[in-house]
Chain A
Amino acid sequence: MQTTSALYQSIIADDHWFETRLIIDGVGTFSERQLFAVSTQLQMFQGSPTLGAAVAGEISVKMLDPGESIPNMATLRPQVRACNATQQSEWLPQGVFMIDTRERSVNERGLSVLTLHGFDAMLKTEQAFESSTITGDSTDTQMVAEIASIIGVEVDERTYALMDKAYTIPLPTGYTLREVLGYIASMYVGCFIMNEEGELRLVSMLELPPETNYLIDQEGDAITFGGDRILV
């Protein structure tokens, strides 16, 4: 769960809605008035449950054509914030993606429409492992840090917290970065993804907190007493 402010928490606790914006690096920030549709897809694995995957997230955007030149592989940063009649929260990042394809068209109202499709940085791991830093055996955390460096992203700190075994990784000559990430992920019963801030993150299926049962209302929402949920 992303860290959010008390304001955000208070807004979503009552009547609220969300507002979207899209930042295209080098071009500008676009509001809902210019965005027709934005959707993202992110998954730990494709198809049946699998450990050791490293699946790229995707974004699809249909927007009013800004008419400006958008660089190749420009970065797309969708963000949302919680709103009510009087307040708006901070913007929450919803992923960092790079444009893969673009298409321009004219809709039925005669407006110029730009359709973008992109992937997050996980797609950059589809390259053979080559490193001037790691030339022999390394630890799993060293390897993850090096791969993140190669594809130009940071590592989510929660990843290192999970990787507590310090497994030895032989020099993965001939393997792609994605394969190496997958093998490391499988060692920790998980998969690698890119998080909402565009960082490399290991998600373990063993991370789930123990199931708890709270007293709920007919809508399924927890009934609180002085703000605290009631454990049953």
Chain B
Amino acid sequence: MSDVVGLGRRVSALDISPQFSNYSKVIIHTDDETAIEVGDDTGRTLELTNPFATQEMAENILQSLSGYQYQPYDAQDALLDPAAEIGDAANIRGTYGGIYSRSRKFGRLMSANISAPHDEEINHEYQYESPEERKFTRQINDVKASLIIANDRIDASVSQTGGEQSSFGWSLTSDAHRWYANGQEVMAVTASGLKVSGEVEATSGKIGDFNIKASAIWSGISSFGGTQSRGVYVGTDGIQLGQAFKVNSSGAVTATNISASNITLTGTLNIGGSNITAGALRSGAQSAYSNGSYWSGGAASGYNYSAATASSSPSSYPTYFTARDIFVKRNLSCSGICSADSLGCRTLSVGQSTAGWKSATIAGVTIYYLGR
């Protein structure tokens, strides 16, 4: 407990300011944005800064301040007992206040200037702003910027009220660095990586194992048509997946295995040199007849049949071979009635001596036909 030092009139000068009114409110700022408030506005407000503050702490402080009144004073050349300490009370010409500041000159008298400093602001009934304060206020009005350094984060933001109607800011916390535009998060960097909400523009770079260049994204295969067995390339000139699949910008597809439930072809399907076109299976150059197409490396020889059916005893004989007349079975050898022309095209030689069902294998495909 502090003691009281009676100084009586043993001071050369005494300046007394009005006693502070009672405290009725406590505000503890835990950081630049967060505060704990207790009490009401019926009296003076005590403001503190304390990042470790709690609600209980604020309530305790307000309770302890009940009835406390601060008496400012300034006593010059007080003949103060050298045993008096900071925190003791002084009773000077009837004024009672704490010794909160002491400037002592050592000598035979041990005089000291003691005071309980007063709050300079309350003495200014006429509010005055210095030129520096006004200049600062003007700048604040033009560009509202803030940098908040708290115990758990750093925030910065700028809101321009001038020509550019935009606001931008960032926040650095213990677990993330976030960027905001117009109040919305546009980018976040966390331990999980980078998340961008909005447009990303880059002419080069890397995402995982994928490389980015101006006209392509690739991994393992750096250019379309590359010979690497593994990798992927997606570019303006084509798409390639290893050596098993690729499609160029013209739509030409190369694939080693295709499974599909439905395929619609508008052109020609080439199988091992044989072509399937709309309505016919052919090899070599196509010659059109009025009622269909046929297999030929040149002019047809023998008879042509049409409307043949898969029967060992056909009731009628076709005039031409057509696509629906052909029955194929793999792995049957040619029975000697087929030959190849100079271009390597297979030709069926069909004549009267070949009456009945015959077969021939062309490019691994066995074709049954009905001759007569």
Q: Could you list which residues of chain A lie within 8 angstroms of chain B, going by C-beta atoms?
A: 1-4, 8, 12, 17-20, 35, 37-45, 47-49, 51-52, 78, 80, 82, 92, 94, 165, 167-170, 172, 174, 183, 186-187, 189, 193, 195-196, 201, 203-209, 211-212, 214, 216-222
Distance in angstroms between the alpha carbons of A91 and B96 in the assembled complex: 29
Q: Is the CB of A8 within 8 A of B3?
A: no
CB pair B106–A220 under 8 Å, yes or no, is no
**Complex formed: what's the CA distance from A2 to B3 in Å?**
9
Interface-facing stretch out of B6-14, B140-148, B232-240, B296-304: B6-14
B116 beta carbon closer than 8 Å to chain A: yes
Contact among A35, A52, A187, A221 with B8 in the assembled complex (CB-CB below 8 Å): A221
Min CB distance, B334 to chain A, in Å?
Answer: 90
**Across the A-B interface, the 4 shortest Cβ-Cβ residue pairs:** A220-B8, A1-B3, A203-B87, A43-B101
Tell me whether B16 is interfacial, beta carbon within 8 Å. no
Interface segment among B43-51, B131-139, B261-269: the answer is B43-51
User: In this complex, what residue of B is CB-closest to A172?
Assistant: B52
A183 touches B117 (CB 8 A): no
B window 68-100: CB within 8 A of A: 68, 70, 72, 81-89, 91-94, 96, 98, 100
Question: With the chains together, A1 CA to B8 CA distance in Å?
Answer: 17
Q: Do A205 and B70 have beta carbons less than 8 Å apart?
A: yes
- Cα A42 to Cα B86 in complex, Å, equals 8
Q: Is B372 an interface residue (CB 8 A)?
A: no
Closest Cβ of chain B to A202, distance in Å, is 9
Q: How far is the CA of A33 from the CA of B46 in the complex (A)?
A: 49
> Can you name the residue of chain B whose Cβ is closest to the Cβ of A218?
B9
Is B120's CB within 8 Å of the partner chain A? yes
| A136 vs chain B, min Cβ distance (A) | 14
What residues on A are CB-neighbors of B81 within 8 Å? 1, 12
CA distance A45 to B6 in the complex (A): 23
Say if the beta carbon of B250 comes within 8 Å of chain A.
no
B85 touches A195 (CB 8 A): yes
The CA-CA distance from A92 to B87 in the complex, in Å, is: 18
| B91: chain A residues within 8 A (beta carbon) | 211
Name A208's contact: one of B2, B86, B110 (CB within 8 Å). B2
Known contacts A94-B82, A165-B60; A209/B106 CB under 8 A:
no
B61 contacts the other chain (CB 8 A): yes
B7 touches A92 (CB 8 A): no
Residue contact B8 to A219, C-beta cutoff 8 Å: yes
Chain B neighbourhood of A218, CB < 8 A:
9
A206 to B68, Cβ gap below 8 A?
yes
Contact of B104 among A17, A39, A207 (CB under 8 A): A39
Taking the nearest CB of chain A, how far is it from the CB of B174, in angstroms?
Answer: 11
Listed by A's residue number, 8 A-B pairs whose Cβ atoms lie within 8 Å are A1-B5, A12-B81, A17-B108, A41-B102, A43-B102, A49-B70, A82-B82, A209-B2
Asked whether, in the complex, the Cβ of B88 is within 8 Å of the Cβ of A1, the reply is: yes
CB of A53 to closest CB in B, whole Å = 10
Chain B hits for A40, CB < 8 A: 102-104, 106
B48 touches A52 (CB 8 A): yes
Whether B64 pairs with A189 at a CB distance below 8 angstroms is yes
Please, how many angstroms separate the alpha-carbon atoms of A204 and B64 in the complex?
A: 11
For residue B5, which residues in chain A have a CB less than 8 angstroms away from its CB?
1
* Distance of B151 from chain A, by nearest CB (Å): 8
- Give the size category of B's interface with A: 35 or more
Query: Is A1's CB under 8 angstroms from B70's CB?
Result: no
What is the predominant secondary structure among interface residues of chain B facing chain A?
A: loop
Least CB separation from A38: chain B residue = B106
Residue pair B119, A39 in contact (C-beta under 8 Å): no
What A residues does B116 contact at CB under 8 A?
49
Min distance, Cβ B200 to any Cβ of chain A, angstroms: 35
How many Å lie between the Cα of A37 and that of B106 in the bound state?
7
Taking CB atoms, residues of chain A closer than 8 Å to B118 are 48-49
Given the complex of chains A and B, what is the CA–CA distance between A45 and B121 in angstroms? Answer: 16
Minimum CB–CB distance for B48 against chain A, Å: 5
Would you call B1 an interface residue if the criterion is a C-beta within 8 Å of the partner chain's C-beta atoms?
yes
Asked if B105 is at the interface (CB within 8 A of a chain A CB), the reply is yes
- Identify which of A18, A47, A78, A209 contacts B109 (C-beta below 8 A): A18
Apart from A19-B108, A80-B106, 6 more pairs, CB < 8 Å: A1-B3, A42-B102, A80-B82, A168-B52, A219-B10, A220-B93
Contact between chains at B50 and A52 (CB < 8 Å)? yes
Determine if B87 and A207 form an interchain contact, defined as CB atoms under 8 angstroms apart.
Answer: yes
Residues of A within 8 A of B363 (CB): none
- Are the CB atoms of B98 and A205 closer together than 8 Å? yes
B156 interface residue, CB < 8 Å from A?
A: no
| Bound: A174/B105 CA distance, A | 38
Please indicate the chain B residues that have their CB under 8 angstroms from the CB of A78 in the complex.
Answer: 106
Contacts of A4 in B (CB 8 A): 83
- Say yes or no for B65: interface residue by CB 8 A criterion: yes
In the complex the two chains form, what is the Cα distance from A131 to B72 in whole Å? Answer: 39
A8 partner, pick from B70, B83, B104, beta carbons under 8 A = B83
Interface string of B112-135 (1 = CB under 8 A from A): 000011111100000000000000
Q: Is the CB of A43 within 8 A of B100?
A: yes
> Which residues of A sit under 8 angstroms from B98, Cβ to Cβ?
205, 208
Q: Which residues of B contact A2 (CB under 8 A)?
A: 82-85
Complex CA gap A170/B282 in Å reads: 87
A206 touches B65 (CB 8 A): yes
Q: Which residue from B3, B8, B106, B117 sits with its C-beta under 8 Å from A20?
A: B106
Contact residues in B for A217 (Cβ distance below 8 Å): 8
Chain B residues contacting A82 (CB-CB under 8 Å) are 82
